[in-house]
A and B are shown apart, each in its own frame.
Chain A
Amino acid sequence: MTLMQLFGAIFIAYGPPASLFIITIARNPLRVIVMMAGMFFWLVSLLLSSIWWFAVVPLRDQLAFALTFSVLFQELMRFGYYKLLRKAEDGLQQFNQTGPPDPTAPSGANESTSDSTRHVYAYVAGLGFGVMSGIFQLVNVVADSRGPGTVGINGGPPNFLITSAFLTMAVVLLHIVWNILFFWGCETKKYHVNAIVVASHFLVSELSLLNQQHLYTVTLPVAYCLLVLQAAWAFKVVGGSASSIRNALRWKVHRYAL
């Protein structure tokens, strides 16, 4: 599909996470570390899923079987990372203090990790998870897209590349959102939130099986709807609201809320 399509697909799928990384994470070494660890945890889940798939010899051809257990392992590793991060938080906080304690900061910031910091770590970990998942999802397709041909000589859909790219973008962003919700659910012991996250991950993944029958009109809209809804929910969870958006959009920023 030539280099133009190759770069187009890469930009679509990895543009948002790359921009997020450059702008929000790159300058902050602690966040970089948390993100890298998140990527590593996702890789471990991939390793476990592969071993499981390889071990269960008779079901190797059944994609649905491998997929279901892969989602399960990913969620397990998400939980594992949460536990690790929770224990490591206070130590990380000490790393964060590069100078004397800041007297103007809100109370509680110097002693233990604040909620907002926790949400930031959840977001960063989710980005790590999502980027790794997105890379593995699209890298083979992108590699094949370099040549002069496009999908379709034996009857495939010609819009395969662009739908794959958009689906990957959705999955990456969804991982961020799921991670925020999941960590919040674990923290506040609202386990129904965790259940919703896991369920929606299963939903999106199993629906992608429909791609084999070229039912892109089902998978893409569902994935994006879920993304928008859960993003709104996560936004609320981390302290956003409609008024905060309105405030943020103002040109002049009022330093003190009146």
Chain B
Amino acid sequence: MIYTDVTGFSACVRRFNATHQIGCSSDFHGNTGVIHYMASVSDVQWLLDVGPHKPYIALMEPQVFLLPTVNKLTKSGKVSGIMVININSSQVIDEDFYFSPDLKCPNDNFGFYSSDNISSEYAHCGSVEWNPAGNGMNFMDFDIPIISLYNETEVQYLIKCYKDHNEPVNNRAQSYPLCAAELHSFMFGAKDTPTCMRRTQQTTNLEVSVFCDPIGDFNVWMTLKPTNKDNPLQEQSLIVAAAQIDSFSLFYNVQPGRGAEHAASSYITLLAVAQALGALNTNIKQNMTDIMFAFFQGESYDYIGSSRMVYDMLNGSFPYIPDASKTQPAFVTLKDIRYFLELNQLALVKNGNVYAHIDPITYPQTKTQTDELLDNLQMATFGNITIKRPDILNQPVPPASFQQFLRSKVKVPGIVLTDHQTEYQNNYYNSRFDSPELINIEEDYTSQVSPLAVELSEIATTVARALYKLARPHATDEESIRANVSTIHEMLYCFLVKANCPLFRSVVSKTESERLSNVSYDAYVGVFGTDQGSLGNFVYRLLGYFTGNLTWTEHNDSDETKDQCKDSDSDQISHYFFMQGPNPEDGYGYCVKSNVNLAKAQSPAFIDGQEDWTSTQYSTWTESQWSSTAFSARVYLKPSPEQESVIFCLGMVVVLMSLLVSYFFNARANILFSSI
């Protein structure tokens, strides 16, 4: 009768780094305001010039939700919250629209070119501005709540409420009662990482209060041949193929899957490469140089995953801290890497051109291997794909995990493959618009493969054949290596549209498949904890499925199966998990034994015992805590202040009158009631 709850929304949350606070938070009791719908600039101007009923909550169409407008609104002091409409994003936006809340120079201070002793012509995107669409909104501090609405019915309801009660007539505001909203998204943390981490660690009462948590997850990596520390690696004996898993957007847990062009295109392609190479005979694998596949998490927040891997490699603790009692994989150091190939943003390829970016500063010292890598890539091209270097030869490498490897001062030869020559093709880098629709993935499940899947499979085949030739220079049978188009198509659907799909169901157990989400898993890296996030977990499982040994087991998901199919404490090389396979009704499944491993993607600034929360070398990003009931929004009619005063005054009058009358009756009782 009074309130209508709005539940279909994602909120902008607060994060911290060593020096700043970014993001949004509401007041403790929520922010209230009169709704004003903005579909064009004139609506914004009306609020700023005329709007008499402050505070307002702006209900904005996405074309109007741009940084200059938001700044004007917040500076005016008239706006106490913003609701952004986010239904069917791609259909609403026209061709010229671009929106990227990341910086114009992503991960600026943590890449290779901004570190000490590097010539400054490349620093801070001096020669190429990678993300010109960037407005940096993700890194600004708003002290109003900003939410993104994704439920179409609720959006229509809000617009109708506005039109019935609030819409100005002849440029004049309506009178009370007005349609208003209340937004709650209170964040517990404040100021910056050192402050809130210090507050979290202090136990002032017996209660534990947590204000923020470091963000991070787990990197997924494996070598094609299992290694053992008893056989240490030779120098320059490893080929590394890498991709990034995560991306972010302004809003927490926004649907559907994000990072489609930014991350999904590359890690799905790399998974297809792993599948193609994993299918090779064991004999052949034994005779190859080992290939390591690495999937990094947390790269969007100043290279969390790759910086940790490089740190561990430099300290001799990659992949595990040396432990004499356990069987461990061989330790990897940076000097062991012969070639480094990274895949980054591959879904918007134009005319089949894939660009190979080479770092101009280390190229003179790594010329031989880098040229070998490039030649093999160019010789292995398949389908309509051409691999070429950017026209400007001394252009730096774009923001990529490879920059962390370069930063280590070890001269690692490497190439980053992307679909863009200079600036990004992606106008929605790290935003809620980097969605399946952007790269033409169908919302409905279809077995007919998409053109994008075909293109990515051609890239995957190219990369797989190139890596094969690099690992086995005298081989002649590289033509037999082909990436599987339908698997790529499935993976695109499962990772970006709906996790509850046949491929994902087949790599989990029966009970787990019943709990699969009906939307996609979030691509945001999330808070570092003991368990891996869902998206990374599926990268892990698919990698194991593609490259591991499958043993048929009789029972599906029973306790006996679990006992037979689990990791042993002393063996850190092999890992086991149970999957029900493509025919779950049959009642049996497979125990997968693989050497796919998880490595902590936790910034070195947060390692226990050596925390450095003010670090400028490593990512110090943390996420604020919020209560489990933190996010709520509701709509109601706001009464005029006059109505409220009238009722209050009436109440006072009634009380006074009744006091007087009661006193009168009591004092004169024996006269008033005397006729008895």
Is B608's CB within 8 Å of the partner chain A? Answer: no
Is A144's CB within 8 Å of the partner chain B? Answer: yes
- Tell me the complex Cα distance, A161–B2, Å: 11
Is A153's CB within 8 Å of the partner chain B? Answer: yes
Q: A148-B638, A149-B638 are in contact. List 15 more A-B contacts (CB 8 A).
A: A4-B648, A5-B644, A19-B655, A23-B662, A24-B662, A148-B636, A149-B637, A150-B639, A153-B3, A153-B161, A158-B639, A239-B676, A244-B674, A245-B672, A248-B668
- Tell me the complex Cα distance, A241–B646, Å: 36
Chain A residue at minimal CB-CB distance from B673: A239
Given known contacts A153-B4, A154-B4, A238 and B673 CB-to-CB distance under 8 angstroms: yes
**Does the CB pair B665–A150 fall under 8 Å?**
no
Is B635's CB within 8 Å of the partner chain A? Answer: yes
Chain B residue at minimal CB-CB distance from A238: B673
Is A91's CB within 8 Å of the partner chain B? Answer: no
**Does the CB pair B636–A19 fall under 8 Å?**
no
Of residues 627 through 676 on chain B, the ones whose CB sits less than 8 Å from some CB of chain A are 634-639, 643-652, 654-655, 658-659, 661-666, 668, 671-676
Chain A residue at minimal CB-CB distance from B639: A150
- Tell me the complex Cα distance, A238–B635, Å: 53
Is B381's CB within 8 Å of the partner chain A? Answer: no
- Tell me the complex Cα distance, A153–B166, Å: 12
Is B342's CB within 8 Å of the partner chain A? Answer: no
Chain B residue at minimal CB-CB distance from A14: B655
Is B274's CB within 8 Å of the partner chain A? Answer: no
Of residues 134 through 162 on chain A, the ones whose CB sits less than 8 Å from some CB of chain B are 144, 147-154, 156, 158, 160-162
Is A47's CB within 8 Å of the partner chain B? Answer: no
Is A29's CB within 8 Å of the partner chain B? Answer: no
Is B324's CB within 8 Å of the partner chain A? Answer: no
Given known contacts A150-B636, A150-B639, A240 and B3 CB-to-CB distance under 8 angstroms: no
Is B180's CB within 8 Å of the partner chain A? Answer: yes
Is B182's CB within 8 Å of the partner chain A? Answer: yes
- Tell me the complex Cα distance, A150–B179, Å: 10
Residue of B2, B637, B661, B673 most packed against chain A (CB within 10 A): B2
Is A185's CB within 8 Å of the partner chain B? Answer: no
Given known contacts A24-B662, A150-B637, A144 and B648 CB-to-CB distance under 8 angstroms: no
Given known contacts A11-B655, A23-B666, A149-B638, A156 and B671 CB-to-CB distance under 8 angstroms: no
**Does the CB pair B674–A19 fall under 8 Å?**
no
Chain A residue at minimal CB-CB distance from B660: A19
**Does the CB pair A4–B645 fall under 8 Å?**
yes
**Does the CB pair B662–A1 fall under 8 Å?**
no
Contact of B648 among A8, A22, A160 (CB under 8 A): A8
Given known contacts A8-B648, A20-B658, A241 and B675 CB-to-CB distance under 8 angstroms: yes
- Tell me the complex Cα distance, A239–B673, Å: 4
**Does the CB pair B658–A161 fall under 8 Å?**
no
Is A169's CB within 8 Å of the partner chain B? Answer: yes
A-B CB pair tally, cutoff 8 Å: 149
Shortest Cβ distance from residue A220 to the other chain B in the assembled complex, whole angstroms = 14
Shortest Cβ distance from residue A21 to the other chain B in the assembled complex, whole angstroms = 9
Shortest Cβ distance from residue B431 to the other chain A in the assembled complex, whole angstroms = 33
**Does the CB pair B659–A19 fall under 8 Å?**
yes
Shortest Cβ distance from residue A162 to the other chain B in the assembled complex, whole angstroms = 5
**Does the CB pair B676–A8 fall under 8 Å?**
no
Is B32's CB within 8 Å of the partner chain A? Answer: yes
Is B316's CB within 8 Å of the partner chain A? Answer: no
Is B41's CB within 8 Å of the partner chain A? Answer: no
**Does the CB pair B674–A239 fall under 8 Å?**
yes
Is A2's CB within 8 Å of the partner chain B? Answer: yes
Report the 10 A-B pairs with minimum CB-CB distance, sorted nearest first: A149-B636, A11-B651, A8-B647, A8-B651, A15-B655, A8-B648, A239-B676, A150-B639, A248-B668, A16-B658
Given known contacts A150-B177, A153-B3, A240-B673, A162 and B655 CB-to-CB distance under 8 angstroms: no
Given known contacts A5-B639, A240-B673, A151 and B666 CB-to-CB distance under 8 angstroms: no
Instruction: Point out the residues of chain B lying under 8 angstroms from A88, CB to CB.
Output: none
Instruction: Point out the residues of chain B lying under 8 angstroms from A165, CB to CB.
Output: 647, 651
Instruction: Point out the residues of chain B lying under 8 angstroms from A12, CB to CB.
Output: 647, 650-651, 654
- Tell me the complex Cα distance, A107–B1, Å: 60
**Does the CB pair B177–A152 fall under 8 Å?**
yes
- Tell me the complex Cα distance, A12–B656, Å: 10
Of residues 227 through 254 on chain A, the ones whose CB sits less than 8 Å from some CB of chain B are 238-241, 244-245, 247-248, 253
**Does the CB pair B676–A116 fall under 8 Å?**
yes
Given known contacts A11-B651, A161-B647, A240-B675, A154 and B1 CB-to-CB distance under 8 angstroms: yes
**Does the CB pair B654–A15 fall under 8 Å?**
yes
16 contacts between A and B (CB under 8 A): A1-B644, A7-B651, A8-B648, A15-B651, A16-B658, A22-B659, A115-B676, A149-B636, A150-B2, A153-B1, A153-B637, A154-B1, A158-B177, A158-B637, A158-B643, A241-B675
- Tell me the complex Cα distance, A9–B648, Å: 7
Instruction: Point out the residues of chain B lying under 8 angstroms from A7, CB to CB.
Output: 648, 651
- Tell me the complex Cα distance, A12–B182, Å: 28
Instruction: Point out the residues of chain A lying under 8 angstroms from B646, CB to CB.
Output: 8
- Tell me the complex Cα distance, A115–B4, Å: 56
Is A119's CB within 8 Å of the partner chain B? Answer: yes
Given known contacts A12-B650, A162-B650, A150 and B638 CB-to-CB distance under 8 angstroms: yes
- Tell me the complex Cα distance, A20–B663, Å: 8
Chain A residue at minimal CB-CB distance from B668: A248
Shortest Cβ distance from residue A131 to the other chain B in the assembled complex, whole angstroms = 13
Shortest Cβ distance from residue B631 to the other chain A in the assembled complex, whole angstroms = 18
- Tell me the complex Cα distance, A148–B182, Å: 8
Chain A residue at minimal CB-CB distance from B664: A248
Shortest Cβ distance from residue A66 to the other chain B in the assembled complex, whole angstroms = 20
Contact of B673 among A11, A18, A119, A147 (CB under 8 A): A119
Instruction: Point out the residues of chain B lying under 8 angstroms from A144, CB to CB.
Output: 1-2
Chain B residue at minimal CB-CB distance from A241: B675
Given known contacts A19-B655, A149-B636, A238-B676, A162 and B647 CB-to-CB distance under 8 angstroms: yes
**Does the CB pair B645–A15 fall under 8 Å?**
no
Of residues 37 through 88 on chain A, the ones whose CB sits less than 8 Å from some CB of chain B are none
- Tell me the complex Cα distance, A18–B658, Å: 9
Is A10's CB within 8 Å of the partner chain B? Answer: yes
Instruction: Point out the residues of chain B lying under 8 angstroms from A152, CB to CB.
Output: 2, 177, 637
**Does the CB pair B2–A153 fall under 8 Å?**
yes
